[in-house]
Amino acid sequence: MKNLNGFTKAADLKAEYAKKCVPGAEAVKVVKSGDRVHIGQFGGVCRDLEAALAGRAGELEDVTLFSTNYSLPELYKTIEADPEGKAFKIVSTHMSHDDRIINKMGREWFMPILFHQGNKRWAELGEVNVAFVLTGPMDEHGNFNFGITNAEVNGVIRSADIVIVEANKQMPNCCGMENYVNLSDVDFVVEADYPLPELPVRDAGGADAIIADLIMPYIENGSCLQLGIGAMPNRVGQLIAESDLGDFSVHTEMLVDSFVDLYNEGKITGRKKTNPGKMIYTFAQGTKKLYDFLDNNPVCMNAPSDYVNNMNVIGSNDKMVSINSCLSMDIYGQIDSESVGHLHISGTGGQLDFVMGAYLSEGGKSFICTPSLKTKKDGSTESLVKPFLPEGSIVTCPRAAVDYVVTEYGVAHLRGMSTWERAEAIIGLAHPDYRDQLIKDAEKQGIWKNSSKLL
């Protein structure tokens, strides 16, 4: 585990930096067979160091790489360089498209974790041998800013025996708290210069657009916003920007382009927030517009996930509005946002953190949204409102925590409802073609209004 030293004396900075600055191929020589290497999270994955490590595929065995929602535009170089799977395997706390590909190969596993637990979990277990940390260039005080990804970085650094910084000249300098590492706590520095991965903004259509429209009447002036990933939350942001509503605050896990649009439209003031005037987030992913907005912007506050996703901190903001998507729900109100049966799709992330945080908020609301139907490759349809979650499905939000659920057929407020009331309300959100069968299923399960007896 890393023994943090404090700060490097100003007089020693230049010499210390020169001593620690090495090419990537040199830095990754510290990795040994059997090591556990954290390569970064989200848009903060160390691209050059991961590629340099791939060059050692023939020398290493059984190295575990840790990441979260790997977001580079290309597949892991380490996996491509190791087709037999002898050198590298992956563990992720939230799977991306590329992670799912490797999972299907049988070379990647998922680590269940609530996002607010990340720093504590890494720091206490001390299981990281080598940490790759993506930052901006060193400043005049010897500090490397974490840029767009704070999240669990501090916990990873504290856990690690060796810390290698990949200092990218194109990383925005993001204002915040606990968002830097000093040269004194870094073993090697690798200089880099490449654009950050961008997450294109998708336009919402069909059910997603209808769901966004249905949510809008529930959003009040002065609300504090958390918008999840995807076209539907982005559409909500667009609708707010076009509305007469205003005086919003931001406390969100992920900062996305729609928040920039809301700020530029004068919708975000932050006056009614626990941290007045601050847009709080723990990582950012979007386009260059977002990254340019973040650079040296004191309005934005990048903080660790154990602060941003702490349900009590979330709940301290009045009128907290949390909007997220799921993969399916059942008539009990259980939410699956992680898997389709046994097929793993994403991760737990911070969805439950914000559902609970919104519950604690005075006037808070959380919305879990899904289209009512999925169209399969053969053209047939499947209801995403189910009698019970299928075998292998993961319960991301337990029924007791869920507040509002939404499909294109309406909004149901589940808080305080009995099982039959929930079943009735949720069945009303299903596609009409599936409602009669869902009623029969509810009767069999003893949760329909006319009987609590199992058939």
Contact status, residue 280 vs residue 248, Cβ threshold 8 Å: no
Q: What is the identity of the amino acid at 21?
A: C
Contact of 444 with 455, CB cutoff 8 Å: yes
Question: Would you say how long the chain is, in residues?
Answer: 455
Active site residue 242: no
- The helix (run of H) or strand (run of E) holding residue 406 is strand 404-407
Residue 377 CB neighbour total at 10 angstroms: 5
Q: Cα separation of 187 and 91, whole Å?
A: 24
Nearest alpha-carbon partner for 136 in 147, 149, 126:
147
What residue ranges in 337-395 does DSSP mark as E strands? 339-340, 343-344, 365-369, 373-375, 381-383, 385-386
Q: Is 220 helix (H, G, I), strand (E, B) or coil?
A: coil
Give the active site residue among 16, 108, 166, 253.
Answer: 253
Give me the amino acid identity at 17: Y
How would DSSP label each residue in 52-116? HHHTTTTT--SEEEEEES---SS--HHHHT-TTSSSEEEEESS--HHHHHHHHHT-EEE----GG
**What residue type is assigned to position 104 of the chain?**
K
What does DSSP say about strands 343-344 and 339-340: parallel, antiparallel, or unpaired?
antiparallel
Catalytic residues: 253
